[in-house]
Structure formats: C-alpha cells, structure tokens
Structure 1
Amino acid sequence: MVWPTWAPQKDILAHAAIGGFVTHGGWNSTLESLWHGVPMAPWPLYAEQHLNAFELVRDMGVAVEMEVDRKRGNLVEAAELERAVRCLMDEGSEEGRMAREKAAAAKAACRNAVDGGGSSIAALRKLTQEMAHMSSI
C-alpha cells in the first residue's frame, strides 16, 4: 500500500490482515509496530534509524534485514524489497517465521508493561514518588 499523505498508521498496523511493515525505522513507527506485534522490514534513511534497524534485526529478531546501499542514497533494489516482503509473508520462510514469533512476543511484553502491575506502571509510580520526595525537600 502506498499512501500519498498522512495515513492512520496505528489503525493500519492494528488490522488483522497486516502481516508485515516496511518502515524507515523511526522510533514511533517502531514502537507502534511492536505494540501491534507486526514484524518489520526496516529501510533506514537518517540518523538513529540505522541503529534502530540493526537492533530490530540483530538483537530483537522482530525484523528481516534488507540490503540498503548507503553509497547510493539508501537505495533498496526492487528485488531486495520483494525478497524482504515475501520473507515476512511466506509461512515457509524460517527468517519470517522467527520475526513473526518474536513480534508476537514483543506485543505481549508491551501489553504486560502497561498492565496494572507492569514495569511501566511501576516505573511511573517510582518517578512520581521521587518527584514528591524532592518537592518536600
């Protein structure tokens, strides 16, 4: 899908028919994809996007790597883009299967973090307690 203007990205990623996301790897897109458990094919263009792509592929395993030619303006050849998308969508692809499984696990971890006793709630409580303590000093 190509969207010429702003797109309701979170709504699109939440749809059950979405099996993968070709993304620039920006932080918000990454978080939204993980929240919805959608595996990615990062195509980084600028700044931290390259590091995010590396982390998503190598460390987290929630994405399939695409060969990006940085010497040619971050070009990705059509055949490489097709390979990555097929990898994400093909049930027979081991790399894609692993990315889908890890993305599903990341979705569960994200949801657990904001649950009543999750790590995000605990961190927020600790922060508010420390701020209250500092204001009483």
Structure 2
Amino acid sequence: MTEYPSWDLPEDLTERWQEDFHRLEEAAPLLSYATHLAEAPGTKLGGYPSWFTAPGDTDCQQCGRPMDHLLTVASNEGDSASWRAWLPAEDRDEEGRRAVPLDPTGLDMGGGGAVYVFACRSCPNRPFTHWYDSG
C-alpha cells in the first residue's frame, strides 16, 4: 500500500484532494483523513510513522538531513475509528465488523504507545535513532 500523510503531501495533491477530504469527513464523521486514513497504524516496516503526539526529532546527528522511517513497533494495530479503513478483510466478520482485538500482538509499549526506528540513508555508516511516542 502507499501512504499519503497529510503533512508530507506534495502541494499539488493537497490542493487537488482537499475537496475529497472534506466530502469524506462529511460522509464518515468518525473518520478524518489526517487522523485515520493518511498513515497505516500499528506495527510495520517502512512507510510513515503514525504519530500519537507531535512528530519527533528525526534529523541525522551526522549530516542534519531527515532520517527515513524504518520500523514501527506499536501497542495497537489501530484505534476505535482507524480500523474501519485499515483492517484487512480476513480480520472482519460477515457484517464487516472487527473480528480481532485492537492489540492482537499483545505488545505493550507503555500507555498504548509506539517506538519508531529511523535510519539515515545519506550517511555511509547508516546511523539510526529511535523515538518513543505514547498515546
């Protein structure tokens, strides 16, 4: 899947999709593009972090460039609304409702949080860092 986080969308896409975002939020008031649809929640490799609070400082200490998101290890695989968009069909019952818990892995990263791991692809020694984010 391809994620399109609202804070990292190219300007032309933001302008082109703004009306669609507004229609979506009117049609499904429990879902918000920025909160529930932009980044896939849960434990994952690659993509974008789905921050609980504000984005962490992930600039490389060696070169100063933003580091790439490598891995998220999360306590939950979604929240009470985002599962509607991200839950795979095989994890739903016949009526389309969630048939698995929000925390099927049993991981607890402290208060429903997540640990994000970032790596710098610009530096030859590939430095990495992590950021803890709690909900």
Q: Which TM bucket (shorter chain)? A: under 0.3
Query: Is the strand fraction higher in 1 or 2?
Result: 2
Larger-Rg structure: 1
For normalisation by structure 1, the TM-score amounts to 0.25
With a CA cutoff of 8 Å and minimum separation of 6, indicate the structure with the bigger relative contact order.
Answer: 2
